[in-house]
Amino acid sequence: MMLRIFLLNPLTALLLALGMFFIICSNVHALELSGNVTAEYRYFFESPVRDNLEKHNLSVAFEPKLYHLFANSRDSISFIPFVRLDQNDPQRTHLDIRELKWQKVGGQWELRIGIDKVFWGVTETVHLVNIINQVDMVENPDEEDLLGQPMINLTLIQNWGNLNLFVLPAFRERTFPGRDGRPGSSVLISNDKAVYESDAKQWHTDFAVRWSKTIGPWDIGISDFYGTSREPRFDSSVFTLDSRGERELIPIYEITNQIGMDIQCTIGGWLLKLEAIHRSGQTDNFFASATGFEYTFENIALSGTDFGVFGEYLYDEREFKTMNRDIAAGVRLSFNDMQSTEVLAALIQDTKYSSRSYYLEASRRLGNSFKLAAEIRGVANVDDRDPLVEFKADQYVQISLGYYF
């Protein structure tokens, strides 16, 4: 019931969750509160594709965390709501429960019930294997912000490895920028008319399993997911008209089976990485992989700075994907200074067309409680046949300042 409310009316669910949380914790003193509030400014260099779009955008996000570890040190509860207010895009102004879970730890098992986030994978520029959570696309096109996923997760810890079993009773639709939102303005996508292959719609029960083990320098994971595809399919003939008579594409969520594998081999300064998936469903049937390396030159010239270089080859059988036969190259600088200054830059070159995309992320702590971050995302030399063309009008620079407590 909580789940149903959560998916249909996040605000009510949030208040309910907060209430429940405080009732549970009311006679407990050791309730830990932490989190951050972050202000963000984006500037888009290119003229917008529609008159209503702005070049400047201000936004603020609040993400507190409440955590309690019970006296037995085995049970814990945690709650992380998230809210963003956006100046221009009502779709980016949103509320989510990133985490609301009870966790129990046993000798050879762990159990998590509630809403949580799971990350699988090793590569830098794409996250193929990662499939449990839906992408919160309005947050950032890098697909690293995820919506909370309702789940029952049992982990078995044995000599032969860790076995992670998931029952996922409900599905979250991917968030897309609205008519007034950037980036992603070239194509309008409906946020409320999604269609499903399953009659159960977002109530289809999904299952996932992952085995993982560390063997010497090798970290290996093999996974299978069966359920509603987190990535929607689009068909130019499946659309709706908004109140202005403009075409909005309708996301199509099909039942899919994804087999995934992620491997990393760590030797000295080298990280060798592989992620591969095969997905099969009603219309989807493809293979994709990311193969790469990262090498770190540690403490260069005794300056304390670590300098890493990485390269990845991205392959995807699907023609419409932006990164389907691409070579990615990048650098990572960690200054290891008092302010934890870090810079990451990557260039992704399409091997079929001349198109390339790039991003740069930098961050630095100010004092003890603030963090300043900058980000640039853009494309260059885009061929009109490359799906990357959709991003051409939406290159941006972002500056954010977060207060952490």
Partner 1 sequence: MKVSKLFFVTLISALSFMAICAAESKLLFAEDKGLTIAREADRRDEGFGDSEEVFTMTLVNEHGSSVKRRMRVRTLERHNDGDWSLSIFDEPADVKGMALLTYSHGIDPDDQWLYMPALKRVKRIASNNKSGAFMGSEFSFEDFSSTNDIRKYTYKYLRNEQFAGMDCFVSEWVPAYEHSGYKRMIVWHDTLEYRVLKIDYYNRGDKFYKTLLLKEYKQFLGKYWRSMRMEMQNHLENRSTILTYDKYRFRLGLTERDFDQNALKRSN
Pairing, β 356-366 against β 396-404: unpaired
Query: Is residue 315 classed exposed, middle or buried when 0-12, 13-18 and 19+ CB atoms within 10 A define those classes?
Result: middle
Q: Which of the residues 148 through 187 are near partner 1 (CB under 8 A)?
A: 155, 157, 162
Rounded to an integer, what distance in angstroms lies between the CA atom of residue 386 and that of residue 401?
34
Q: Kindly state whether residue 76 participates in binding partner 1, applying the rule CB under 8 A.
A: yes
State the number of binding residues for partner 1 (CB under 8 A). Answer: 50
No. of H helices and E strands in the chain?
A: 2, 22
Nearer to partner 1 (CB atom), residue 19 or residue 269? 269
Among 186, 198, 336, 349, binds partner 1 (CB under 8 A): 336
Q: Kindly state whether residue 362 participates in binding partner 1, applying the rule CB under 8 A.
A: no
Among 241, 268, 320, 384, binds partner 1 (CB under 8 A): 268
Dihedral sign, Cα of residue 296, residue 300, residue 306, residue 309? negative
Question: With the CA atoms of 113, 117, 120 and 121 taken in that order, what torsion angle do they form, in degrees rounded to the nearest 10?
Answer: -170
Nearer to partner 1 (CB atom), residue 123 or residue 289? 123
DSSP 93: S
Among 26, 47, 108, 237, binds partner 1 (CB under 8 A): 108
Among 70, 270, 293, 313, binds partner 1 (CB under 8 A): 270
Q: Kindly state whether residue 54 participates in binding partner 1, applying the rule CB under 8 A.
A: no
Helix (H, G, I), strand (E, B) or coil at 374: strand
Among 129, 208, 271, 277, binds partner 1 (CB under 8 A): 271
Chain-centroid distance, C-alpha 402: 19
Helix (H, G, I), strand (E, B) or coil at 117: coil
Q: Tokens standing for 262?
A: 């992620």
Nearer to partner 1 (CB atom), residue 110 or residue 284? 110
Per CB under 8 A, residues contacting partner 1 are 32, 34, 36, 67, 69, 76, 78, 103, 105, 107-108, 110, 117-119, 122, 144, 155, 157, 162, 212, 214, 219, 264, 266-271, 294, 296, 298-299, 302, 304, 306, 336-340, 365, 367-369, 371, 402, 404-405
